[in-house]
Structures are given as C-alpha cells and as structure tokens.
Amino acid sequence: MAGLLQGNTLIWIIPIISFLCFILSIINKNSVSRISLLNFSASFINVLLFLVLLFTYIDDGELSSQIVWAKIGDTTLSVGATVDALSISMLGLISIVTFLVKLYSIQYMRSDAKFGWYFSCLSLFSAAMYGVVLSDNLLFLYGAWELVGLGSYLLIGFWYEKRAAAEAAKKAFITTRIGDVGLLIGSLILFKLSGTFNISEIFHVVTNGVETKMISESTVALATTLIALGAIGKSAQFPLHVWLPDAMEGPTPASALIHAATMVAAGVFLVARLFPIFEVSIFTLTFIATIGITTFLIAGTLALAMKDLKRILAYSTVSHLGLMFLSLGCGNLPGAIFHLLIHGASKALLFLCAGNFTSLTGKSTIFEMSGKIKIYTLTSCSFLIGSATLAGIPPLGGFWSKDAILVSAYETFGIPMLIAALLGAFLSAFYITRMVTIIFSIKKPSHNQVNKTSLVMSMPTIILAAFSVLLIGLLLNWGDQYLGFSSFLSAAKETDKHHVGLWIPITSALVTVLAVILSWMKYTNKIQLISNKKVSTLLENKYHIDNLYNYIVSKIVLRTSKMISAFDRIVINDTGVDGLASLIPFSSLKIKHIQTGKISTYLMSMTIGLVAILLYLIFFN
C-alpha cells in the first residue's frame, strides 16, 4: 500500500480513475444515482490526489514514470508521465474544475435522457486532459491531445439530433484537426532531429545541436511554428478560432469545463511545455505574439456584438487566450500560466452562472434575460466577482495577471504592442460591463424575477469565485519552498526581474476603469456613443471569417473533390480503362478482315513474306 502511494505510481492513478469512471459510467448508463455517486467520488478523489501530488512535489521535486508502449528495432516509443511545476498547476485547475462541474452537472443534467452518456464523455475528456498535462513525451501528448478533441467532439455534439449541434461538433473537430496536422508534422520533425519523442531529451538534443550548429535554427523554427499551429487550433486562435463560439451548442457545464477552463488552455500549455525550444527561434515567438494580439483584439470586438450570453463568453475566452499567447510570445511564461489559471477559474464560473441564468429564465440572450435576474443571489454575486476579475478591475486577480503581460509586451515589443494590448484590455472591460449592465438592468419591471437555484448549482459558482480571488495568493512569497509563482514555474529565472516603474499598472487600471464607466453609461443610455451601422454589421457577421470559410469549403474544397471524383470516373475509368477495353473489340473487328477466305490473298501474302525473308537473309547475313 505504501508503495502504491509513492508519487511515481500515483501519477498514473489520476488519469486511470477518470478512465475507469468513463467505463463504469457507460456500463451503468441507466442508473442516475449510481452515476452521480461514481462521478462525484471519482472526481473528488482526484482533487485529493492532486493535493497529495502537490505536497509531494513541493517536498521531493519532480516525479516521473515511464512505460514502454512499442519497440521497433532501435526505436522505442514510450508513454511517460511527469509532474513538474507546470503540470501540477494545470492538474490543480483541471481536477478542481472537473469536480465542481461534475457536481453542478448532477443537478443540471438530471432530467436528460442521456445522463450516463454525458458523464462518460466528461470522464473520458478529463482522463485525456490529465494525459495531456502529465505527458512527458510528444507522442503520448499528441495521443491525449486528440482524445481531448474526441471528448470535446462528443460533448459539443451531445444533442446530436439538433442539426446545429452536429455541425458544430464536426466543425470543432475538423478545425482543430487542421492545426493538429502542424502539431504532428512538427513533432515528427523534432523526432527526426533528436531520434526521440521524450520532451526533456528533445530539449537537450535541440539546444545542444543549435549551439554547436549541428541543427539549423530554421529547422527548429519550422518545427516550433508547426507545433504552434496545433496550439492555435486547440486554443481557438485566429484564424482557427471559428469553432469555439459554435461549440456553445453543447451542454453549458461541459462548455465551462472544456471550452473555458481546460481544453482551450491546452494550446497555451503546449507552448509552455515546449518553451525551451520555442525560445530558440525569435521568429516563432514573434509569430505567436502576433497571433495572440490579433486574436485578443478581433475576439474582443466580436464579443461586443454578440447577443447570446454563452457566445459573449466564448469570444471572451478566445480573446483572453490571445492574451496568453501574447504573453508566451513575449517570453513571459509565468504570466501566461497565471492568467490561464485566473481565467480558467473565473470563466468556468461565468459559464456555470450562465447555466443557472438560462435555467432560471429559459432564455439564452442577454437581452431576454435582462431584468429577470435578482442581483442579490449567490449566483449573481459570483457572476459579478467573475466578471470583475475578467475585466481586470484592481485589485482582483485579472488585474495582476494582465499587468504582468502588459509589462512584458512593453519590454519585448515596445510601445506599439503596449498600446495594442491596452486597447484589448479596454475592449475586454467594455464588453464585460456591457454584459453585466444589460443582464442586471433594473429598468425593466422586476415582478417576474425568479430566484430559485438549488444549492448544488450555486455552490460550485461560489467556490470558483473564491478561487478566482484567492489565486492572487500564488503571486506572493510564502517562504523557502515557494518564492512566488514565477520562480515556482521556472526556477532558473528567479533573478530575471525588471522594474519598469508603476506607470504601466496605473495606465492599465485607468484604462479599465474608463472602459467600465463608458460602457456602463452607454448601456444604461446615459450617453450616446457613436455607433456605425457598417461596423456593427461587420461585427455581427464576425468579420465574414466564417462566411469565407464556408465559401472555401463549399465552393472550393467540395467542388475540387467533385471534380476529382468526376475525373476519376470519366477520364481514368471511362476513357482510360473502358476506352482501352473497347479497343479490343474494335481492333479485332478490323483485324478480322485479314481472314478473307480467298486462297489468292493468302498466296500473295505468303509470297511477299517469303521474298522479305529471303531479302533479309541475303543482305543482312
């Protein structure tokens, strides 16, 4: 028993519990009570195991464990897991959010006919997600990464009888798959360079190789850029962001887990995990930063135009993931991960609240909800806390994480990038205030306000709200074993502290407050801000990006495939194959005329033949 509880084996138990939970939920698919108990206890145990691992890690340092998966000749493919600062941070987020979401779902999904299937998918998803964060090699990571995509596919398409849900699931999988082509090719290039999939060995070989000029920097840049494509797909970055808003067709708690806190953050995690080789190439980092800031701004403006609450939150997620990418591109790894945690907690909370609001009012757009929700309820309070955190209002967590990113953006790319990022921060505060103002609008008659949310569905939101506040604690210095988040995450860079002065935090705080005030005044009709018809149509059409993709798919891809298949049928088959075949009766019809039946013709050809043979023998022999 003592051996079993050693850290190294313990690592495997977390994903295995989730996986067993998946299997058992399928087997017991008709028993609501059994599934509830099973999922509740499994995810609770995982939270406890996370705590055990956390303390083991703090005491003993990194843990790892490996199993050989396949061995061909001198190539060994193994499946390995490791616990380091990065994976333990992610593990915490995933296990806690999974637990709370499952708790919430027990109530939320109770009346659904596919209750068991829902929990199976959720468990499958979390098992795969644990795999992603624990994996110590690219191959296993890719495997888990794809299975995470499968979990997301199944949950988005949960209500598959709805055409929209089926389409959204398909779109999500295909879009992320396009990015994954890059991830797989990139990993294979790294395999070619280093002969292994093990991440730390790859670091070793690649950094050494680049130093000794054995490996060209451009090859590494190519590989990392391709891997970044995978991250862009999963984390819904521009131009592969289109699947995430549609993914809101799935059940809301699943969105809270997958499309707010965990899976979409996997892209950021991937870059963070492979950061030492991303750092090799400035090109890749600039590429990531560019993608990040573009997404931050594009999605921020789109969130401004959405009416559906979940879609606002979805675009907001896309936008904040952009901010994390920007941070990574600026070389600020701790900043990105800290924002990931803060955002994960507060966004999951907002989604769960959105679920509560929808089940209270039966509506999904903020305008329809407007005025129907009491502000003095647990759910509403946590909704406000989550919104304020996300808007980056000081002194909540979102402010500090955003601030760290702004500083690094300024240090790496200078003033223009800082201005762009501040604009993004402004947008972020603006659309969140819009959302809050409209939902809690008190101008409408309040007699049909409803306020019955069961405790099971409001407790998780409160807990998450507490987390999103308390996470600031991570930034503090807790003594010898924990010297603040950035040294926890990257022990090597402790001294890497710059002081740019206070002007950036102050500016960002001012920008945020300004955005909040302006937005509040606009949506309570206290002031009229200029609004351009053309701009709002453009935003409602999501910059026509979705339309462009639809056009490409239906007009170019599908047409090409129709053309190729017609080519195959008409040119290769009907002309090539059948044409050649029809030559046979044709030529035999022609040749049959030789057989005339006239003795004189035969005699003549025999004579010609004889003369030809004789001439040949005489002249050429």
d(CA 226, CA 245): 24
Which of 540, 568 has the CB closer to another protein? 568
d(CA 149, CA 184): 14
| Helices marked H in 330-396 | 333-361, 366-369, 378-391
| Count of other CB atoms within 10 angstroms of residue 489 | 21
Least gap, CB of 579 to another protein (angstroms): 12
Which residue from 152, 141, 144, 150 is spatially nearest to 186, judged by alpha carbons? Answer: 141
Query: Which residues does residue 70 pair with via DSSP β-bridges, in sequence order?
Result: 77
On whether the CB atoms of residues 235 and 329 are closer than 8 A, the answer is: no
Which of 60, 568 has the CB closer to another protein? 568
On the CB side of 308, how many CA atoms lie within 13 Å of its CA? 13
Least gap, CB of 455 to another protein (angstroms): 35
On whether the CB atoms of residues 499 and 421 are closer than 8 A, the answer is: no
On whether the CB atoms of residues 422 and 406 are closer than 8 A, the answer is: yes
- Tokens (6 digits) for 120: 């199976």
How far CA 163 is from CA of 8, 109, 169, 612, in Å, comes to 46, 21, 10, 78
Q: Which residues contact 78 (CB under 8 A, 6 or more apart)?
A: 66, 67, 68, 69, 137, 140, 197, 198
Least gap, CB of 561 to another protein (angstroms): 4
Least gap, CB of 433 to another protein (angstroms): 38
- Tokens (6 digits) for 75: 């190539």
Which of 120, 453 has the CB closer to another protein? 120
Least gap, CB of 185 to another protein (angstroms): 5
Place of tokens 């070389």: 331
How far CA 423 is from CA of 403, 507, 551, 579, 620, in Å, comes to 13, 11, 31, 66, 93
Which of 537, 550 has the CB closer to another protein? 550
- For Cα atoms 262, 264, 270, give the angle at the middle one, nearest 5 degrees: 90
Which of 571, 603 has the CB closer to another protein? 571
Least gap, CB of 565 to another protein (angstroms): 3
Least gap, CB of 563 to another protein (angstroms): 7
Which residue from 158, 155, 37, 109 is spatially nearest to 457, judged by alpha carbons? Answer: 109
d(CA 504, CA 410): 9
Least gap, CB of 143 to another protein (angstroms): 3
Least gap, CB of 228 to another protein (angstroms): 16
Which residue from 348, 532, 481, 366 is spatially nearest to 433, judged by alpha carbons? Answer: 366
Residue ranges binding another protein (CB under 8 A): 68-73, 75, 139, 142-144, 146-147, 150, 157, 160-163, 165-167, 169-170, 173-174, 177-178, 180-181, 184-185, 188-189, 191-192, 557-558, 560-566, 568-569, 572-573, 576-577, 581
Burial of 66 (0-12, 13-18, 19+ CB in 10 A): middle
Least gap, CB of 514 to another protein (angstroms): 45
Which of 273, 320 has the CB closer to another protein? 273
Query: Residue type for 179, please?
Result: G
Which residue from 402, 407, 380 is spatially nearest to 391, judged by alpha carbons? Answer: 402
Least gap, CB of 289 to another protein (angstroms): 26
How far CA 73 is from CA of 77, 188, 192, 323, 344, in Å, comes to 11, 18, 16, 44, 43
- Tokens (6 digits) for 324: 């994390």
Which of 577, 610 has the CB closer to another protein? 577
Which of 20, 189 has the CB closer to another protein? 189
Least gap, CB of 257 to another protein (angstroms): 21
Least gap, CB of 474 to another protein (angstroms): 33
Q: What is the CA radius of gyration of the chain?
A: 31
Which residue from 145, 147, 142, 137 is spatially nearest to 64, judged by alpha carbons? Answer: 137
Least gap, CB of 93 to another protein (angstroms): 23
- For Cα atoms 531, 536, 540, give the angle at the middle one, nearest 5 degrees: 155
Answer whether the bond into residue 239 is a cis peptide, omega within 30°.
yes
Least gap, CB of 281 to another protein (angstroms): 18
Least gap, CB of 127 to another protein (angstroms): 11
Which of 37, 558 has the CB closer to another protein? 558
Q: Give the E-state strand segments of 402-531 in sequence order.
A: 477-479, 482-483
Which of 41, 575 has the CB closer to another protein? 575
How far CA 525 is from CA of 442, 529, 569, in Å, comes to 13, 9, 64
Which of 184, 210 has the CB closer to another protein? 184
Main-chain dihedrals φ then ψ at residue 4, nearest 5 degrees: -65, -30
Which of 71, 555 has the CB closer to another protein? 71
> Positive or negative, the Cα torsion across 193, 198, 204, 207?
positive
Which of 172, 471 has the CB closer to another protein? 172
